[in-house]
Amino acid sequence: MKISNTFLLRKLHQITGVVPLGIFLFVHFFTNSKAMNGEKVFNGAVEDIHHLPYLLFIEIFGIFVPLLYHSVYGIIISSEARVNVGNYGYGRNWFYFFQRVTGVFLFLFVFFHILNFRFGLIPGLNQTPVAGNASLAFSIVSREFSIVWVLVFYILGIAATAWHLGYGLWLFVVDWGIVIGEKAQKYMLYVSIAVAVGLFAVGTNAAFSFIRPCGLFPKALCEGAEKKGVVEPGKTGKF
């Protein structure tokens, strides 16, 4: 019997991807977007998170445990699956294939990312954890994103995350019988693709906000924050 066919374990894999991890990613990309308004605003947002009550509990049971289960079970599914499975059309087979490719890539990316920023454990790159150092958060990230290969790697990570979550939503609502009927599932696919494109745009703009005020948007859109005395990226980094 294949582990990937075990009903309960599979449902648990789908629900962990959508509920704790999906919600976390929306919040995470939103927090990162605060970098559009400069160093002070971003560091303040990180500081607020560090002062949340039950933070360690939320981190362990809301992020790390679901992430570990979702990643390990996802790798098992990928290794047991055949390349052309399913009764989906030609396009859907490709979508499902990308779901597995992005999953395997994300396993490596997220592992690197958590060691890098959360724990500061990448020798030669960053050895200052953001956890416990909110006042340095912006300068830690902006120093790294000025290195071209790191920025490219993160944009690939954001793209993989956006696709994986967007199409994951579609797989979830179809498999759980929430969206039934061919037409409804087709419309749901458009919604999922829109979620993926939106997440990619927001995540990429957040990444660029660490090396350029307001990211890829005209600076005028973020002027309000600058006028209120918010510091521009790179002008005060004490890191």
In whole angstroms, the minimum distance from the beta carbon of 167 to ligand HEM comes to 14
Residue from 15, 18, 104, 114 binding ligand HEM (CB under 6 A): 114
The yes or no reply on residue 59 touching ligand HEM (CB under 6 A) is yes
Are the beta carbons of 211 and 155 closer than 8 angstroms?
A: no
- DSSP letter at 87 equals S
The yes or no reply on residue 161 touching ligand HEM (CB under 6 A) is yes
Taking contact as CB under 6 A, which single stretch among the options 114-122, 170-178, 190-198, 231-239 is the one that binds ligand HEM? 114-122
Give residues 140-159 in contact with ligand HEM (rule: CB under 6 A): 141, 154, 157-158
Are the beta carbons of 98 and 167 closer than 8 angstroms?
A: yes
In whole angstroms, the minimum distance from the beta carbon of 237 to ligand HEM comes to 14
**CB-count burial class (<10 Å; 0-12, 13-18, 19+) for 170:** buried
Residue from 136, 137, 196, 230 binding ligand HEM (CB under 6 A): 137
Taking contact as CB under 6 A, which single stretch among the options 187-195, 200-208, 221-229, 230-238 is the one that binds ligand HEM? 200-208
User: Which residue blocks in the chain are alpha helix, DSSP H?
Assistant: 7-16, 23-33, 39-50, 55-57, 65-80, 90-113, 137-145, 148-175, 182-208, 223-227
The yes or no reply on residue 106 touching ligand HEM (CB under 6 A) is yes
